[in-house]
Structures are given as C-alpha cells and as structure tokens.
Amino acid sequence: MAQRRGHGRLRAAGAGPDHQLVFVDRVLVTLVVLRWALSHRVLAALFGVSPSTIDRAVGEVRPLLAARGFAVPDRPGIRLRTLADVFAYAQAEGITLRIDGTEVQVRRPKAGRPGRKAFVSGKRKQNTEKATMISDEQGRELWLGAIRPGRMHDATAVRTEGIEEQLRLHPNVKAEVDSGYAGLARDFPGHVSAPPKKPAADAGPSERNFYDHARRRQSQRRIMVEHANAEVKQWRSLQRWTGERDDLPEVITAIGALAVVC
C-alpha cells in the first residue's frame, strides 16, 4: 500500500490504539528483550498481553534508548553520539583512545538475494555484522558504532565512518589499535599505534625478541578495549542476533549506551 500511495501511512500524533502497557512496563519489556533475548511470545504471556503489544512496545522504546548516546565517565549530562564527539572529547581531556572491532552472528540471507556474501566474515567464517568499539585507557566505553556487514575489513569500516577526517581535525588525539588497523597506523604514524610487523622467517633472535617485546607492550596498552567489548557481549542479543538484520544497528547502539551505565 505504501508503494501504491507513494508514501507511508499518515497518522496524527497520538493516534492509534491505547497502550495496554504503562510506560514503565514498556521500558522493562524492552530491557528484558535486549538483555536476555526472550521471545515476544514469552513476554506476552508473562504480562498478559498479545505478542503484537510487545512488538509495539519494543519498537517504540528501543529507538529512544539508541538515541540517548554514550555517557561520559565523570561528566554527568554529557553524551557522545558521533565519532566527531568522541574525538572532540578525547582531545579536550587528553585521552588516548583504544579502538577494536567486534562481530555479532546474524542469520544468513536467503538464497538468490543480492549481497548474500556481504555478511560472511573472513575471520569467523560465519554470517556476521561488525561494529567498532572505542574506549579510554581504563576500558570505559565511549562509543560503539560504524556498524557494517561482516565481510568488510575493520579498518574500512571506520574509514567509511570518517575516522581519517577526525584524525586530521584532532592532531593531538592518539589511538591504540590491533593489527586489523595496520593500514590506518601506516597512514597516520605518530597518531595511531598498531602492533609491529611480524619479522621474516629467517630473522635473527634479536629481531624476534624485539618483536615479541614490542608486541606485548602494545597489547598491554590496548587490552582494555577488549574488556569493553566483553561487557557488551554479556547481553544475549549480541551473542547471536536472530531478528531482522535491519534492526541490529539500533540494537547494538541501544545496548552500547545501556552498558555504559550498568
């Protein structure tokens, strides 16, 4: 019908059937869905309503949670919503960022659909979507975004989000990354630190020892972002997403914003 009309359904503000759940219950239902991934049918039985009522509640509350942004440690009232916000905050506070990618398994697209291979992760050999996590040196999450199909490289995902421009606009901001962002470290030496390149097979003992020592030191500086990734992965919805893939970016953003305050 929307295609025939040329636009979506026009509805006045506040129109539609009355809510069967009060706002607090709608928020509670949404949090349970995000945290434990309970089915809407189970929640409908628990609250004594229809599954469509649960669908409506989650569909209304989840965008509000995703739009809240990411709370800043020790800065009440400040929210980071974009990559530009993160870099501006890091420059103002003198923070060295930790950047890492994380993947969420999704259902495989149906056969015959275009872009079916776009979600196949070369690392996990599964259909995934990936997101980029940014934390501070204490492992506190600052931002979770740049959500892209699993086949896309980690560095490409943040490049398409505009990280190169932010590095140029904020020359004092430094970042610690893993080997997946080696190209970014090559393009911005002195700003982005990646693990050293592995020595050749015929390298001498001194060169190998230097490589092992440098890699361990860089890993120790970067490991805190792994802890931030582990925090959001405790939410069942991000362990394996079985819903619509189009909803996953909103789910990731909402959980990321909630995990900051949990």
| pLDDT value for 16 | 67
Q: Is 262 exposed, middle or buried (0-12, 13-18, 19+ CB in 10 A)?
A: exposed
Strand-pair category, 75-80 with 70-72: antiparallel
pLDDT at 91: 96
What are the average pLDDT values for consecutive 10-residue runs of the chain, which has 262 residues?
Answer: 74 72 96 96 96 96 96 88 97 96 92 85 90 95 96 95 97 94 94 88 83 87 93 95 94 94 62
d(CA 201, CA 195): 18
**If we measure between CA atoms, which residue out of 114, 102, 117, 111 comes closest to residue 151?**
117
Predicted structure pTM score = 0.88
> Domain residues of the chain, as ranges?
19-66, 72-261
Annotate 106-119 with b (16+ C-beta within 10 A) or e (fewer): beebeeeeeeeeeb
Q: What is the pLDDT of residue 205?
A: 84
Determine the pLDDT at residue 262: 56
CA distances to 105, 176, 205, 230 from 123, rounded to whole Å, are 12, 21, 30, 18
Size of the chain in residues: 262
